[in-house]
Structure 1
Amino acid sequence: MTTRSKQWLYLLFAFTCVLLGMCILLPIPWLGGETVMEQMTEEASTTSLDDQQEYHLTTVEYTTYIDEKKVEVYRFEPGTIVVNQGDEVVLRLHGIHGKQHEFTLEHYNIDGTVTKGKETTISFTADTPGTFRLTCHTHTSANQIPMVSYITVVKK
């Protein structure tokens, strides 16, 4: 790329930055004379947060070979979920891999089974701050990596 081409590229970049800055900071007629920042702040302040949080988890299988030996690992994905204390939490567990997975959500004494091709729903109130395990009992032997997801409850 020539020096002249680089100069035009820098000039175009600078012009784009100035144009974006003007759009964000100057009043825009179709927003009722407000700036984009004022409009976003107003919308954020009028939005009420719902205390019910819904999360979808899937059962996932990873397969690889180590020293020509097949190794399978099952996981709940996502592996970590963070919620606020006091939230009503709904977990929708989708059976994608594996015939079935019997599980327990510690602290909440919730037991269930996720079956391949089906959805299992559990709900609870996140009443105590801390990190709690959602553990599959099907994949807990000494020669397997545990199938676990962590639910972290943070103070509001």
Structure 2
Amino acid sequence: MKFIVIKRKWLFLVTAVILACCAYYYSKGAIPTFQNTQEKANSLEYHMVTGEFSTTTKDGKKIEAYRFDPGTIVVPKNEEVSLRIFGVNGEEHPFYIEGTDIKGTVKKGEETLVSLNFKEAGTYKLICDTHSHEGHGLPMIAYIVVQ
């Protein structure tokens, strides 16, 4: 009985050491899924992509919805912010940010850089001009929450 208890302790110890080594080894190449990186001091960077959902209903009607992902970001008031939007789905998405004079176009396979610095707190809509009109499916809108 004593031999079995000692054997279990050694087995537990060896397993713990192997797991710790594996965790250390694999953490070296870990990539965070979300990170606010700082290129310059006090400069926040956010990333978005354009995406699409599509399906066909039972009666054969095709339904499409384009979106910005993530659909909401929270940014600080009175700070320089870089928003990088990469075009994945859809040939292009001309956009504007409601309540500002900011506008641009996201093209498939390209990254669009948008510099932001909001002076007023609130929620601003990032709106794709193509996918916000009747007949173009659901609206393509992301929300920028300024605090």
Aligned length: 109
Aligned partner of residue 139 in structure 1, secondary structure = helix
Aligned partner of residue 61 in structure 1, secondary structure = strand
Query: Conserved in 2, the CA contact under 8 Å of 1:108 and 1:124?
Result: no
| Percent of pairs with identical residues | 44
RMSD value over aligned CA atoms? 2.0
TM-score scaled by length of structure 1: 0.64
Matches for 1:60-139 after TM superposition, within 5 Å: 60-67=51-58, 68-139=60-131
CA distance in 1, matches of 2:57, 2:129: 24
Residue deviations 1:46-95, cap 9 Å, x none?
xxxx5321111101010112333110100000000001212211110101
Q: Gaps (5+ residues) in structure 2?
A: 1-11, 13-40
CA distance in 1, matches of 2:98, 2:43: 20
Question: 1:147 maps to what in 2?
Answer: 140
CA distance in 2, matches of 1:117, 1:82: 25
TM-score scaled by length of structure 2: 0.68
For the pair shown, the structure with the greater C-alpha radius of gyration is 1
CA distance in 2, matches of 1:134, 1:141: 14
Residue deviations 1:84-122, cap 9 Å, x none?
212211110101000100000122311100110111101
